[in-house]
Structure 1
């Protein structure tokens, strides 16, 4: 009974080759598409909480609780997101430790790979902590792989927010130094140096370190980086074009559905909890099916979000202007600016008959176009969308850079040009601003630009929280649209999950009011 099975892998015997460590890195990326993150819960949680989306009647009970801000520490999505982010951290810690301890690179090429793998792990670890600190505030900092943790290491107390941010910054600086600018096509989707720069700049912005954010984000606008806006807005949310740097030079970091050459759909229902058990290497999102008006139709675009696309003309404020991005974001009536037709690329039912079909619910509500397939098919038929999730794209960076200027009191040529650059995308060609005016006016313009450009990309919730206007904004919007004011002061942070309190005595003692 005491004999050692020499055929069994251990932490010391498995991670001894380039291939094995690479597998561990890929497994760390895989966490992005687990329950609680981009497979399903992420888009529901933050589209609903940010009030880009609202529930349609079919929305199931636990998601309805999110839509109504009627949730607590036992909410599935709250716990699943926490667990998925810490799973990424745990795997990243294994990579960082084993790549330096168990594996001894034998060639210069392997030494280069070692640097890259460690940098990728630090980037993913920083991404996870970035989400944790913004969502939950003080969280345990688990910074290293521990094969046999002590009770004190298991019951780790929460660290101050400042310490978590400092750890994120250092990881991203290390990642920036160790990541390549580009990869070969078979590794498209892995984190590049640009991802580290963008996330570090975003971290500085969230910390209100405006000058540092400006310096970091500005790097992405010049050599050696070559990002630019995708000429066709919808190429960012359409599967054939997302993995094509010619058509889509805008993506900086995306969660790749069907990312690796030997990965595929697997079991189409894996997103409901079957990661790494159903169908092997399954990797996709359910968003197209779940949000689709001609499929499950679980959510609608809020009337508030739709109305934001109509505002005073930037060059003639006395008349209203309908932003062209409406037609790329939602289906609706002509007055709203929404797309009024679908199936533009569907096969004609018979020769000579146009495949274009009128959107059938224009008088009933506004449905999602972004991340949908309805330009090509009338109904998708299953929750296995291969459309990638945009995490950070160049338009977002340009607007964050503009904000960093404005927050420092600069409302002149630099931020004006950045905002107008986003508005002048060839497929959009929105009317340009001639000036931004006062700092307060410039921030109002910037806030609207972020809302319109990033609708349905899980950005607005985080923006409202960091700007300190979430409660007043969401309650005002909800009061008009559905007569409720659900956002409470405690909703600035998510509750610490019940499962974590039950398993970590240090956290259980630290939680106030059964929330955070």
Structure 2
């Protein structure tokens, strides 16, 4: 019996890793060259290594125009549409996750995570096994080994945060045709062992990776900061309730220290502009630690048409939920649930956190020369507008990541060059604040980290009030993560690691119904997607049934499936 996840593949099926300028990382595709050619040519081998930042397209509507990288990234349905951040207009295999209908036989949009991760791990192992045969200097080999260990650790981190325990294959390169009788190929390691392995790989990578690269064409490759940032995230997860209840022994202080290691590099700062870093093709923000870049020859999904309002000829793809809208504070720093906050439910978008305006298009928001109209009757961006099959079910449209200089109509060969940010400094500060608060309580460093984010120039929210208890600070940090990191593939994992998904994901997916009455509007909540549901077994994804069967049923399935 062959184990599907370790099946040998043609080397380098991923296309070249590219970035948003032509002088950024441009490499020779390695999908049509022999093993001997790769190993015998240092340039080809380095191209093979760089290609490992990417993966092969394994499902429909995935990686439109450019190969997928780490995570979902810029594809039609964002990972946010599996959470209380948004829903995807035309499903795209997301609704079954929202409705708690995941099964080993039907894993929806999550289907490719297991297979792509192990495919990438095998490819990294191939490179590590053969690098000593490549004619290049030892110092350059050491650099490439560090990159490969970072990439492998990233894939393991993705497996861990989705499935929990993983199969640790070491440096083994399984070959097509092998008889997989070794039980280690099917044995899922304890969660603590899985975390420790990935963390050790990142320590080794960080020790050899440069703080930055001197050449612009190398932009997008792993650095010391990227490796330490990934370790910070991994340690934060490992110290969280879901992980400690499943056997991890990482402490909150260790997680705080891992974040502090990034902070102590003194290489990154908070970008005063906030919204600009998400659309700057060159990725020049000092907040960005590690990102994926694109250019006209390798573009991602044209975000503006994929997510724009139907009245602008957009497709209304990932529609923000009222659940997220409610999380944004008033500009005075109070939650809208506070009766003294000044919140008016019939003027709900006035005086909110500036990040709300940078993230979500709402009724009355100025966009491309006119006000958005999600009201009925007659609103241009409502069901009464053109292309009503593309109307948002929630009354909101996505603004974050949207570049208004890109066309909505006929965006092909023009749009699709925004960077996808894997790590930025705000996440590290949030990681530190959360871990430090859990370790010692809300000391001055916790306040400093959160307020640095809140008081960036373009946001300028009031500092957190003094005297918060540990529990009160915990809630403020969680809310800060929700609004600061919205749509960046964090919420799905945060509510699970905190073990609050049974509350947040069992709340209906709310939208806003807006009715125009003369010159006034009446706002009423509505359910935008029926049947939203979450069970305890959903804290981890099911391993696809095909993978279990390929192991001769030796691979352990997650509980409840």
TM bracket (short chain): 0.7 to 0.9
Shift of 1:13: 5.4
- 8 A contact 2:42–2:135 mirrored in 1: no
Mark the CA change 1:252 to 1:189 in structure 2 (over 3 Å): closer, same or farther: same
Equivalent residue, structure 2, for 1:351: none
Shift of 1:45: 5.7
- 8 A contact 2:305–2:315 mirrored in 1: yes
State how far apart, in whole Å, the 1-side matches of 2:554 and 2:303 are. Answer: 34
Q: Give yes or no for the alignment of 1:222 onto 2:264.
A: yes
Equivalent residue, structure 2, for 1:274: none
- 8 A contact 2:441–2:469 mirrored in 1: no
What's the CA shift string for 1:460-488, capped at 9, x where partnerless? Answer: 11111111111112213548863645111
SS of equivalent residue, structure 2 residue 417:
coil
Equivalent residue, structure 2, for 1:4: none
Deviates more, 1:144-153 or 1:323-332: 144-153
State how far apart, in whole Å, the 2-side matches of 1:24 and 1:36 are. Answer: 15
State how far apart, in whole Å, the 2-side matches of 1:372 and 1:312 are. Answer: 23
Q: Give yes or no for the alignment of 1:490 onto 2:537.
A: yes
Equivalent residue, structure 2, for 1:284: 300
Equivalent residue, structure 1, for 2:366: 341
Equivalent residue, structure 1, for 2:500: 469
Deviates more, 1:303-312 or 1:33-42: 33-42
State how far apart, in whole Å, the 2-side matches of 1:114 and 1:127 are. Answer: 20
Equivalent residue, structure 2, for 1:139: 166
Match of 2:145 among 87, 110, 118: 118
Q: TM-score, normalised by structure 2?
A: 0.75
- 8 A contact 2:76–2:301 mirrored in 1: no
State how far apart, in whole Å, the 2-side matches of 1:31 and 1:83 are. Answer: 10
- 8 A contact 1:325–1:453 mirrored in 2: yes
When you count helix as a share of all residues, which structure comes out higher? 1
Q: Give yes or no for the alignment of 1:235 onto 2:235.
A: no
Q: Give yes or no for the alignment of 1:399 onto 2:426.
A: no
State how far apart, in whole Å, the 2-side matches of 1:42 and 1:169 are. Answer: 29
- 8 A contact 1:38–1:255 mirrored in 2: no
State how far apart, in whole Å, the 2-side matches of 1:390 and 1:83 are. Answer: 23
State how far apart, in whole Å, the 2-side matches of 1:205 and 1:40 are. Answer: 22
State how far apart, in whole Å, the 2-side matches of 1:147 and 1:48 are. Answer: 36
Aligned pair count reads 457
SS of equivalent residue, structure 1 residue 228:
coil
Equivalent residue, structure 1, for 2:196: 166
Mark the CA change 1:313 to 1:182 in structure 2 (over 3 Å): closer, same or farther: same
State how far apart, in whole Å, the 1-side matches of 2:535 and 2:334 are. Answer: 38
RMSD of aligned Cα (Å): 2.8
Q: Give yes or no for the alignment of 1:251 onto 2:321.
A: no
SS of equivalent residue, structure 1 residue 69:
coil
- 8 A contact 2:305–2:408 mirrored in 1: no
Q: Give yes or no for the alignment of 1:326 onto 2:356.
A: yes
Match of 1:314 among 333, 355, 359: 333
State how far apart, in whole Å, the 2-side matches of 1:512 and 1:462 are. Answer: 17
Equivalent residue, structure 1, for 2:549: 502
Match of 1:450 among 450, 468, 481: 481
